[in-house]
């Protein structure tokens, strides 16, 4: 086992010698474009939730870059709290619940787009990815645990009802603020032109990044494969057990691409992609923090951002 592990590690590192640097540079341009487009979409949702107030694009873009950078290195998606705190400081009279709701509007499009991509890839068979789930004995297991599941659901429902009754006034206020965050959804034409199309452009950039990275590492690259890899990378961060889904992402990609390439190639691609994107996000986040807090000292910018997140979150 030790010999096989040494061979695998050696094979992983050997593939970095053959990476095409030109494709990496083009991927970097698309990655930055994705940041810009997602910031524009979020800014438009925020503007719809705060009519008559100034919502600076630079402030929103800085908050987004800082949040993404923190999410890549801090478990538990702590970067989202930083995004919320920084944007709240940039919009006069804004509320945390409203800003959180605008972030949910952005995530709604991501969820729909990811679901559609997986369905299209799965139904067309464009990628040799057929998950196998052992179902032997599943009916008996389900029958044995149905009463427990029903009891759990009933208990949870009772707790939620009790909490709503006790905190009725506060809940009403929070719901009103949350509805304000989704105001742009009540204007379908505005949502499509200012948010959905912009996010679609961002998704196109993200797929292009993965496509170029697959080519750079010498893997067979197609648009469906790139789309599937992008969705899996996003899914690995849904349950934030590790910073940026490290480890989880490598396992998921090894399973998904195992039929198309060797383990060493897939692992080198996965590690290289995650490390490279993390470094770029960190650089963008640091630059954004220096701009947001008007300082040329990186350490001062980081401290100011962390202090604001603790004070405002």
pLDDT tens-digit series, residues 263-299: 556 677 777 777 888 889 889 988 998 888 888 888 8
- pTM, rounded to two decimals: 0.74
Residue 235 has pLDDT above 70, yes or no: no
Q: Which long-range contacts (CB under 8 A, 24 or more apart) does 246-249 make?
A: 246/274, 249/274
Q: Which of 6-10, 242-246, 301-305 ranks highest by mean pLDDT?
A: 301-305
The answer to whether the beta carbons of residues 56 and 90 sit under 8 Å apart is: yes
Give the pLDDT mean for 208-214: 90
Q: Say which residue, 303 or 34, is predicted with more confidence.
A: 34
CB 229, CB 210: distance < 8 Å: yes
Give the tokens for residue 198: 């912009």
Report whether 66 contacts 86 (CB < 8 A).
Answer: yes
- Torsion sign across C-alpha atoms 28, 34, 37, 39: negative
User: Over the stretch 96-137, which tens digit does the pLDDT of each residue have?
Assistant: 889 999 999 999 898 888 888 878 776 666 555 544 444 444
Return mean pLDDT, the chain: 75
Q: What is the pLDDT of residue 191?
A: 95
């Amino acid at each position: 086992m030790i010999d096989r592990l040494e061979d695998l590690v050696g094979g992983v590192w050997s593939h970095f010698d053959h990476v095409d640097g030109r494709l990496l540079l083009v991927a970097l341009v698309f990655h930055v474009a994705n940041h810009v487009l997602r910031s524009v979409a979020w800014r438009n949702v925020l503007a719809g939730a705060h009519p008559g107030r100034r919502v600076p694009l630079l402030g929103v873009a800085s908050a987004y870059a800082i949040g993404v950078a923190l999410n890549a290195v801090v478990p538990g998606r702590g970067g989202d709290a930083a995004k919320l705190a920084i944007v709240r400081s940039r919009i006069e009279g804004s509320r945390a619940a409203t800003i959180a709701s605008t972030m949910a509007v952005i995530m709604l499009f991501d969820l729909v787009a990811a679901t559609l991509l997986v369905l299209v890839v799965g139904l067309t068979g464009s990628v040799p990815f057929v998950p196998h789930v052992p179902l032997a004995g599943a009916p008996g297991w389900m029958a044995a645990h149905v009463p427990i599941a029903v009891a759990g659901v009933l208990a949870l429902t009772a707790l939620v009802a009790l909490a709503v009754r006790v905190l009725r006034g506060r809940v009403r206020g929070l719901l009103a603020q949350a509805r304000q965050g989704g105001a742009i959804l009540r204007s379908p034409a505005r949502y499509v032109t200012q948010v959905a199309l912009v996010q679609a452009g961002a998704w196109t950039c993200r797929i292009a990044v993965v496509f170029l990275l697959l080519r750079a590492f010498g893997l067979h690259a197609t648009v469906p494969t790139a789309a599937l890899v992008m969705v899996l990378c996003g899914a690995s961060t849904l349950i934030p057990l590790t910073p940026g889904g490290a480890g989880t992402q490598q396992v998921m990609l090894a399973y998904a691409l195992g039929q198309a390439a060797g383990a060493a190639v897939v692992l080198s691609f996965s590690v290289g992609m995650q490390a490279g994107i993390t470094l770029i996000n960190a650089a963008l986040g640091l630059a954004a923090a220096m701009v947001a807090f008007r300082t040329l000292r990186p350490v001062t910018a980081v401290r100011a951002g962390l202090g604001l997140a603790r004070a405002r979150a």
